[in-house]
């Protein structure tokens, strides 16, 4: 390690339960924390669960105090819709490049009322509940989401495909929080350490036939 200055900030990538707890522990120890999450809200897999093994506690009851603590901790900056795209340096002194997709909704102005989503004419399968339900092209990831704000699904929004095609959400929003021209931004963060907590993706059940995938009926 060189004699470069040691930076008292940490980048945590992934805002699931492990990333949130890492962020809280670091922030409580006095470090500045940048919590980078690729989805529009933190929470990860646990936000999608009902009761959890082995205590049968309600997942959201366990997690929501942490959502609140992370959301209001002065040492934690939550950066949603964002991914780490570059990292250089050495332990104690890194420069991280983070690409943040435009949310098209101002976090400062959005009051989370949902008037935009009520008017949005686009319905898509909701990945958050495994495609069992539908959501709109402007949506909040889940009811208790942190940040408590809507985001535009840029791949599905009619107005982003054709500016004259829609715009119903703009008229419905009482806070004038929606801006379809919001640009993506690249952030350069100076941090002393990086914690990677990206969780997992569901695997292809065909790869492990011994668990009964394709044999037992799912529903
Ligand atoms: C159906 C199901 C039931 C379960 N039941 C239980 C149970 O009863 N009891 C129990 O203890 N555990 C249970 N688990 C396991 C538990 O949910 C996980 O162990 C836990 O949620 C993992 O937390 P995590 O923070 O590591 O990852 P995750 O919750 O997956 O969070 C990772 C986060 O990182 C984000 N991310 C990923 N890649 C990037 C990137 N490149 N840049 C930025 N962000 C990124 C993701 O969007 C996500 O928000 C269950 C899991 C499943 C799927």
At 144 the pLDDT is 94
- Most ligand 1 atoms within 8 A of CB, residue of 12, 14, 218 to mutate: 14
Identify which of 39, 65, 205, 199 has the alpha carbon closest to the alpha carbon of residue 128: 39
pLDDT at 49: 96
Please give the distance, rounded to the nearest whole angstrom, from the Cα atom of residue 19 to the centre of ligand 1: 10
The CATH number that domain 1-101+184-200 falls under is: 3.50.50.60
- What value does the mean pLDDT take over residues 199-208? 88
pLDDT over 70 (residue 59):
yes
Q: Identify the CATH number of the domain defined by range 102-182.
A: 3.30.70
pLDDT class of 213 with cuts at 50, 70, 90: confident
Residue-range domain boundaries for the chain: 1-101+184-200, 102-182
Q: What is the pLDDT of residue 214?
A: 80
Q: Using most ligand atoms within 8 A of CB, pick from 59, 199, 203, 211 the residue to mutate for ligand 1.
A: 199
48-61 burial code (b ≥16 CB/10 A, e <16): eeeeeeeeeeebbe
Report pLDDT digits (tens) over 110-161. Answer: 999 999 999 999 999 999 998 899 999 999 999 999 999 999 999 999 999 9
Quote the pTM value.
0.95
Q: Which residues pair with 57 in a beta bridge?
A: 52
């Amino acid at each position: 390690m060189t004699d470069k200055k040691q930076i008292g900030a940490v980048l945590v990538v992934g805002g699931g339960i492990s990333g949130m707890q890492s962020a809280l522990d670091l922030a409580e120890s006095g470090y500045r924390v940048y919590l980078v999450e690729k989805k529009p809200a933190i929470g990860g897999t646990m936000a999608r669960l009902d009761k959890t093994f082995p205590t049968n506690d309600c997942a959201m009851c366990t997690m929501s105090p942490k959502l609140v603590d992370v959301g209001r901790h002065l040492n934690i900056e939550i950066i949603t819709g964002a991914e780490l795209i570059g990292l250089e340096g050495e332990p104690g002194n890194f420069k991280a490049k983070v690409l943040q997709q435009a949310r098209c909704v101002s976090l400062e102005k959005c009051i989370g009322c949902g008037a935009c989503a009520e008017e949005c004419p686009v319905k898509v399968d909701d990945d958050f509940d495994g495609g069992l339900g539908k959501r709109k092209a402007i949506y909040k990831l889940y009811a208790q989401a942190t940040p408590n704000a809507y985001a535009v699904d840029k791949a599905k929004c009619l107005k982003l495909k054709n500016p004259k095609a829609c715009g119903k959400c703009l008229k419905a929003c009482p806070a004038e929080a929606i801006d379809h021209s919001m640009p993506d931004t690249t952030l350069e963060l100076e941090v002393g350490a990086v914690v990677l907590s990206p969780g997992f993706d569901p695997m292809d059940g065909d790869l492990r036939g011994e668990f009964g995938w394709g044999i037992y009926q799912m529903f």
